[in-house]
Chain A
Amino acid sequence: MSVRNPYLPYPTRIEAVAIENGARDIKTFRLAFEDPAHAAEFRHLPGQFAELSLPGVGEAPFGIASSPTEAGYILFSVKRTGLFTGELHSLEPGAPIGVRGPMGKPFPWERMEGRNLLIIGGGFAFTTLRAAVKYVLDPANRPRFGSVLVIYGARTPDELMYKDELAAWQARDDLQVHLTVDVADKPWAHHVGVVTKVLDGLKPSSENTLAIACGPPIMIRFTLLSLANLGFSDDAVILSLEMRMKCGIGKCGRCNIGSKYVCRDGPVFTRDELKALPAEY
């Protein structure tokens, strides 16, 4: 039996496309594998990514937005920024698309066992955090984790993704969700201000807690300061990095930070792992 060619995408089909934001440049694609055997092979954990592939156009890496507990499909949220994403955004349900993956190291689920989780997301970077929250909330998994606090912010209410799910999560009592926007340009019942302002206000305890932060560089910079002030040690802070990628499997040499490849040794890193690397990202 031969090992699958790692450059050969799994054929999938777009089942549904959801527009996530007011600007209509973020869409969530629900994909289903054409071959159930491929679906069975594609075992991922939240935090991992995959390369989406359009023949004749190219490939691009995206965090997997769905949890492995969501059966029968995988989700990717994609912002339209360039050649590939532009093409992807033009596709309708029924269109074929290739997927290579799962790739990269997921969030450190073994370490997260038995801990409280502080999940901080900004803007478009919330994709793999959605996967993480869905995974934790699954009844089979929930008892394995402590308290869950989610802080998610975007520029405006329209820019928040997964609005229906956020509303459903806010109604639950097994996690706390704090949403915030920079500017409330429509009726808004929740926080106004940057994510770190909410974080500083809530002062969550760092005791037996792991923090995961995903967001634009400036949000990360200030979030790290806040987390340090709250007493989070560097190995208790988990980040997910973005880098220009091509092969996704540690061969093409493009995504390295020091001796680590973001596609293979990341994209999830703890703050102390990052501190040991050169600041070239």
Chain B
Amino acid sequence: MTESPQIESRLRETASGLLREKKVSLFLGYEKATLPFRTAPLFLTAADEAERLVWNPFCSANLAVYLPRLFKAPADAREAKAAPPPPTVGVVLKGCDARSVVALLQERQVPREKLLLVGVACPGMVDRRKAERALGEHACLGAGEDARGNVRAVVDDGTEVTLRREQIVADACLECRAPTPALHDLLLGTPVAGKQADAARRRVAELESKPLDARWARFQGLAARCIRCNACRQACPMCAGCKTCLLDQTRPRWIGAGTDASDVALYHLLRAFHLAGRCTGCGACARACPMGLDVRLLSRKMSQEVEDLYGFRPGEAADATPVLSAFSLDDSQDFVTEP
């Protein structure tokens, strides 16, 4: 049985209460979008607008991406004097989003005391491309959730089609180990257990079992279709805090801006390395990619490496030291070879 209607109403009550009592100055949630299978982020500041909040299988966006910008440190003393005080922000978080917040807290990018975390146990969110593909040539006029948590779509010939949730949830959801936010100030919904705890590992293993040229071809397939729009990076909560991305720098210019194979490959490789130990597998990158690429191809492997080498999973303990900022004497040193 889906809990969405109750969660939605609790979210509206919670948001309106928090805003009315001025416990938060901003509440981040989701509202209806103009196309099916999607929602839009909602920046609520007025208690009486809380009715706009929704909770449904299309609440895919990771709202944590907005937090670094809201708490951006002023550039200098003058900016600090002119800047308004940081807001207190209430934010709706699924399991993956909450992990992003934990990772941001680990890096001191956001202040815990200014956040009010409204966690929602998440049964997995719909990947709009999978849903659209499941409808084939039919255009969707509208979609909603049925009592069992499946998606009911009204298509162009007026008929209704039911799409089973598990067929159309995002890949990241299929690999999600913690759909229930561990860090929260408030938790809505019955806790959901992590599905298929080693799903991500199996995907990595499946690729690694292939010969080198097949793996290279998979990587090339991603690189050939990448248009260097940077959507993956801009959607990523962990990338959001950097004022100028390494990959945009001009002094020195590390990579070109175009679609030359080496530039595309380096963009993805360097981004994956910069997210090592920081990527929480939320899938915002893949969701944002306009070409529908499997942007998590490298980061899935990277996360596994970090876990295997250092026993670290990002986004779990808010007070943990980020793995690449910590050093312990018994860290693996296998990569050190005789010169």
Contact = CB atoms under 8 A, between A and B. Distances in A.
B251 interface: yes
B333 interface: no
A83 B250 CA distance: 7
B251 to A, nearest CB: 5
Contacts of B251: 82-83
Interface in B225-248: none
Nearest to A58: B250
Contacts of A82: 250-251
A128 B328 CA distance: 60
B62 to A, nearest CB: 30
Main secondary structure of the interface of B (DSSP, over half): loop
Interface in A61-108: 82-83
Contacts of B250: 82-83
A82 B251 CA distance: 8
A279 to B, nearest CB: 18
Chain B interface: which size bin? under 10
Nearest to B250: A83
Interface in A225-261: none
Contacts of A83: 250-251
A117 B250 CA distance: 41
A82 B250 CA distance: 9
Interface string B251-269: 1000000000000000000
Nearest to B251: A83
Nearest to B253: A83
A75 B262 CA distance: 39
A83 B251 CA distance: 7
A83 B248 CA distance: 14
A82 B253 CA distance: 12
A30 to B, nearest CB: 27
A244 to B, nearest CB: 12
A83 to B, nearest CB: 5
B253 to A, nearest CB: 8
A13 to B, nearest CB: 26
A72 B250 CA distance: 35
Interface in B95-146: none
B264 to A, nearest CB: 21
A217 to B, nearest CB: 15
A16 B250 CA distance: 28
Interface string A146-180: 00000000000000000000000000000000000
Nearest to B252: A83
Nearest to A84: B250
A56 to B, nearest CB: 11
A203 B79 CA distance: 36
B339 to A, nearest CB: 34
B259 to A, nearest CB: 18
A184 B323 CA distance: 54
A54 to B, nearest CB: 14
A82 B244 CA distance: 15
Nearest to A86: B251
A83 B253 CA distance: 10
A7 to B, nearest CB: 16
B139 to A, nearest CB: 33
A138 B140 CA distance: 73
A82 B249 CA distance: 12
B316 to A, nearest CB: 41
B308 to A, nearest CB: 40
Interface in B248-303: 250-251
A83 B254 CA distance: 13
Interface string A15-55: 00000000000000000000000000000000000000000
A28 B43 CA distance: 51
A107 to B, nearest CB: 32
A137 to B, nearest CB: 40
Nearest to B249: A83
A272 B115 CA distance: 47
B249 to A, nearest CB: 10
A81 to B, nearest CB: 11
A39 to B, nearest CB: 32
B294 to A, nearest CB: 32
B85 to A, nearest CB: 26
4 closest cross-chain pairs (CB), A and B? A83-B251, A83-B250, A82-B251, A82-B250
Interface of B: 250-251
4 contacts: A82-B250, A82-B251, A83-B250, A83-B251
